Structure 1
Amino acid sequence: MTVTSDHATRLSSFYEQALDSLGLEDPTLYGLLNDELGRQRQTLALVASCSPVTPAALLAEGSIFANVTAEGYPGRRFHAGCVNVDQVERLAVERAKKAFGARYANVQPHTASTANQVVMMSLLRPGDPILGLDLDAGGHLSHGASVNISGRVFAAHSYGLGPDGLIDYEELRAKALAHRPRLIIAGTTAYPRTIDWAAFRAVADEVGAFLLADITHIAGLVVAGLHPSPIPHAHVVTTCTHKQLYGPRGGLILLGESADMRLPDGRTLEQTMQSGLFPLIQGAPVVNSIAAKAYAIGAASTPAFAETMSRVRVLAAGLAEHLMLRGVRVISSGTDNHIVVADVRTSFDITGVNAEKALEECGILVNKNRIVGDVHSARVTSGVRFGSNSMAARRFDADDLAEVAELVVEILAATADTSDTTYVLDSAVRAHAQRRVQQICHRRPIAGY
């Protein structure tokens, strides 16, 4: 639909009045929103699970579609008033199918973890064995962790990494033969290397398991053709839309040729995923979030997005190299995606949580992360995880990257544990680093922020 001046005026007026109302009626909340915008402008977010949502997607998520209850699917809703919502959801579905080369897309999952629950609860029975990457090796909670519903409802087993820091596909096969899982999860949250989808599918076929590929951390690279796609190999693919698609927090379920696969009950895999989300796991979708997904997925199919993803890989590889040149132990000695995991216990004799806190004091945001053989709990850890999505959005160049790496090492070298969760940071280093981080942020603003 062409946006006429009348349409633009009405929408602009609506949002202007809403902003004025917020400022007048709730100045406390208005002030917090304003403070958060300032914080995001003035800090370097290197948390791998974050990327700055594009302003247009933020606008769509905060749209009047939030007023619509739309339980069901387009053309088959359980409530009236869904004529425009139906068009938005169909638009998001078609864009997702095109972007990922999928035959089926469900854009309703509230999160990627929800999408994973849909897959498990639809295809498995309680107590069935599943096989996912161990948390310390870079796996995700929703892939069978004992503290997660996936590890409580199902008999969860794990595979890990070899001495080179790469997924050990021989161990994967051995564990699969030993436990005969009904579902194998190929997906990570802190793994910096390329995943061999074909190797996973070969193991899944050998033991008669379904293969779930969770690409939450590499979705953008997959869309841009910078990481192999799991669509031709996995039975089901899940992802989120905020980690690397610069969209809202939400999930997707995707199917390739497997969409027509017949299950023992006679239904296709597509039908099973459709009913597995609604009504099995979720009720009404968050339709304003689906509008934001539609925008973000559409933007991910542009040459500009492909350029950003290329920058993501170059910056991550450069960060790993700079850190290693400065004596930092980097897990797997590099990266193929946006993730860099560093062993700060070996490199600086500090814990991951203290490294995270010290860097945050200086305006650099990372997250503590367990590593293979970690002697600390998930609340302490021996490692930290970096990500390059936000650096790419700020259009960093080689000089910016070198400066950030230098600052990280300078800060961590000036940090000393006083306990596993407390530390001291040299005050002169802190002040110097804070000034430089603010200069970098001013020089490289986030577009639209």
Structure 2
Amino acid sequence: MSQPRMSRSLSHPALSVADPELAALVGAEEQLQADTLRLIPSENYVSAAVLEATGTVLQNKYSEGYAGRRYYEGQQNIDQVETLAVERAKAVFGVEHANVQPYSGSPANLAAYLAFAEPGDTVLGMALPMGGHLTHGWGVSATGTWFRGVQYGVRPDTALIDFDEVRDLARKERPKIIFCGGTAVPRTIDFAAFGEIAREVDAVLVADIAHIAGLIAGGAHPSPVPHADVISTTTHKTLRGPRGAMLMSRASHAKAVDKAVFPGLQGGPHNHTTAAIAVALREAAAPSFRDYAHAVVANAKALAEALLARGYDLVSGGTDNHLVLIDLTSKEVPGKVAAKALDRAGIVVNYNTVPFDPRKPFDPSGIRIGTPSLTSRGLGTDRMPLVAEWIDRSVQAAAKGDEGALTVIRGEVAELMAAYPAPGLPTA
């Protein structure tokens, strides 16, 4: 599961000469990522090979259009790079069509709107406070401004998706598009149930797998391919690629998807990112990546169990994937206060709303944690009780205002992290 690292002595020599101030900030971030326990579920470490690909001369080339159909000359190599990425995406995910040009996840989702809906059409997505994403029709997003967003949620008793509500809303509102997936959903997405509802109301089902793409690629989460018309994903997070995105679909939707991405929403693709996506997909096709994906889930489940044993309230009672959502109401520590205290302790999380949260989004009741990054460093289930202990001690310290305790934990964290070098980071 571990990946090659680079030598610090060979890191950024030109940058250090050209812009010492910026080079110092990059070095400080490298040190921070090396010393801290990163538990934000949407973050990860990329390999040295992915990092190298993002810094190549492919960045110098404009390539509007698609392989074999460009608006610029000199595409002999670029076409092959993009074709590699496309073919690898199709093989890893078992899809008929893939577009690797979207700049990030939000534009990828917006392309789905452009391909299959008109402004003012109804779209059905998971409500943001329940675990959905801004681009699934939430009001403050362009998708909720240009389209009529209708939201489904979770059951109060289980915190699981309420499929009775999804079906009733779909029958009543007749959406053009239904989104499934989200940013704070700790349980398996039932793509088959969503597909059945979408077919009943003649809606296009878009599966947003940004968080779980790596788990799907590694066989640790069911695939949406048999059920979804379109699949949207970022290429970082659990997939361990660069900060890019992909849209995948059935062959019958290929033309609409491609036209929506270019010329519909963007111009020239970022070829250096495309190359890094190709590298990440090659890594995802290796047997070791399957081990990694299953280890991510095993670590998350072990961490959830250790937190439950310490009296923490977990949304839905646990996890099936890489993500654990903690409701801190019973600990009498707001999520934002806890997240900042954990950061001072060297444990990086994000504060997050929980379903039916009485607090405001910028000062919510919960924190969101995940295991992709620590698994990339080689930590296993045997270390999860210690991670839970650190979280518990940090939350208790936050409640008491005990900065000394946080300083002690930070030292303990740094000591353990030194024993588990991070992929892609320079060595000391």
TM-score (norm 1): 0.91
**Structure 1: segments with no counterpart, 5+ residues:** 1-11, 261-268, 417-423
Match status 1:392 vs 2:375: yes
How far apart, in 2, do the equivalents of 1:102 and 1:339 lie? 26
After superposition, where does 1:40-55 map in structure 2 within 5 Å?
40-55=33-48
**Residue 276 of structure 1 corresponds to which residue in structure 2?**
260
Question: Residue 310 of structure 1: which of 294, 315, 319 is its match?
Answer: 294
Question: Residue 374 of structure 1: which of 326, 333, 357 is its match?
Answer: 357
1:51 partner letter: N
1:406 partner letter: E
1:295 partner letter: V
**Residue 246 of structure 1 corresponds to which residue in structure 2?**
240
How far apart, in 2, do the equivalents of 1:365 and 1:425 lie? 18
User: 1:400 touches 1:440 (CA, 8 Å); kept in 2?
Assistant: no
How far apart, in 2, do the equivalents of 1:354 and 1:159 lie? 29
Match status 1:447 vs 2:423: yes
**Residue 426 of structure 1 corresponds to which residue in structure 2?**
402
Give the deviation of 1:54 after TM superposition.
1.4
- Give the greater-gyration-radius structure (CA): 1
Question: Residue 387 of structure 2: which of 391, 400, 404 is its match?
Answer: 404
Q: 1:130–1:32: structure 2 CA closer, same or farther, 3 Å change rule?
A: same
How far apart, in 2, do the equivalents of 1:322 and 1:282 lie? 46
Q: Say which SS state the counterpart of residue 362 (structure 2) adopts.
A: coil
**Structure 2: segments with no counterpart, 5+ residues:** 1-5
1:307 partner letter: D
Q: For 1:6-31, what per-residue CA distance to the aligned partner results, in whole angstroms no more than 9, with x for missing partners? A: xxxxxx9xx96x93322122111111
Question: Residue 55 of structure 2: which of 62, 77, 87 is its match?
Answer: 62
**Residue 344 of structure 2 corresponds to which residue in structure 1?**
361
**Residue 168 of structure 1 corresponds to which residue in structure 2?**
162
Percent identity among equivalent residues?
41
User: 2:335 touches 2:366 (CA, 8 Å); kept in 1?
Assistant: yes
**Residue 177 of structure 1 corresponds to which residue in structure 2?**
171
Give the deviation of 1:193 after TM superposition.
0.5
User: 1:58 touches 1:292 (CA, 8 Å); kept in 2?
Assistant: yes
User: 1:317 touches 1:335 (CA, 8 Å); kept in 2?
Assistant: yes
**Residue 319 of structure 1 corresponds to which residue in structure 2?**
303
Q: For 1:173-228, what per-residue CA distance to the aligned partner results, in whole angstroms no more than 9, with x for missing partners? A: 01111211111101111001111111101111111111100000110111111111
User: 1:186 touches 1:212 (CA, 8 Å); kept in 2?
Assistant: yes
User: 2:51 touches 2:424 (CA, 8 Å); kept in 1?
Assistant: no
Question: Residue 143 of structure 2: which of 147, 150, 165 is its match?
Answer: 150
After superposition, where does 1:204-353 map in structure 2 within 5 Å?
204-255=198-249, 258-260=250-252, 269-346=253-330, 348-353=331-336
Higher relative contact order (CA 8 A, sep 6+): 2
Give the deviation of 1:431 after TM superposition.
2.0
How far apart, in 2, do the equivalents of 1:94 and 1:402 lie? 41
User: 2:207 touches 2:230 (CA, 8 Å); kept in 1?
Assistant: yes
Q: Say which SS state the counterpart of residue 237 (structure 2) adopts.
A: coil
How far apart, in 2, do the equivalents of 1:344 and 1:392 lie? 25
1:191 partner letter: V
Q: For 1:313-363, what per-residue CA distance to the aligned partner results, in whole angstroms no more than 9, with x for missing partners? A: 0000011111110000000111010000000122x1111111110000010
How far apart, in 1, do the equivalents of 2:195 and 2:294 lie? 27
TM-score (norm 2): 0.95
RMSD: 1.4
Q: For 1:267-310, what per-residue CA distance to the aligned partner results, in whole angstroms no more than 9, with x for missing partners? A: xx211111111000111000000000000011001111111111
How far apart, in 2, do the equivalents of 1:345 and 1:125 lie? 42
How far apart, in 2, do the equivalents of 1:272 and 1:64 lie? 31
Match status 1:105 vs 2:98: yes
